Structure 1
Amino acid sequence: MPLYIKDPEVDKLAEELIGLTNTSKVEAVKIALKHEIAKHRRNLLIRGRLAKSLAMARDAGLFQPGDHKAETDEMWSED
């Protein structure tokens, strides 16, 4: 289905992008759409990684204060 947009602001923005990129109106719209799609995909990837990190933190439980020096020394078999 063809894309027909009759909006003066969209036309103005497209003309500005055409001037900045030295492309046609079709290419300018294509560039803008690809840029927005890529931005949203990156955000989805970040959200997925963050969700995994939060799940790991929840599984680890609450932070318990203690003698971290002694715990680290014990873990590394140091005195």
Structure 2
Amino acid sequence: MASLYIKNHDTADLAREVAALLGTSKTAAVHDALEHRKRALQAERSRSIHDRLEAWRAAHPLGEATGLEADKAFYDSLNDEDED
């Protein structure tokens, strides 16, 4: 039989708290959490790249347009170049 020793005290405390809430052992709580995370990762990876990018864009929208024009003069000013 394999064993799992959690060296991180915060993680061990969290496993103990979750086990108490579930009314199970720490091992069962950790197993349940890992199974849940595994299913979530597999579901995420099974989505198409288009769906994942759409979700990312929705979570990270572009900023508002400034109305400023990015013309040659603008780019020249970034490099401290004189106007032609």
Provide TM-score, normalisation by structure 1.
0.54
What residue number does 1:46 align with?
Answer: 47
Q: Distance in 2 between matches of 1:10 and 1:22?
A: 18
Structure 1: gaps spanning 5 or more residues:
52-79
Moved over 6 A (4+): none
The residue matched to 2:42 in structure 1 has which SS? helix
What residue number does 1:7 align with?
Answer: 8
Matched residues, number: 51
Q: 1:1-79 to 2 correspondence within 5 Å?
A: 2-47=3-48, 50=51
TM-superposed CA distance for 1:48, in Å, is 5.7
Identity %: 31
CA RMSD in angstroms comes to 2.1
Q: Which structure carries more helix by proportion?
A: 1
Letter in 2 for 1:37: K
The residue matched to 2:27 in structure 1 has which SS? helix
Provide TM-score, normalisation by structure 2.
0.51
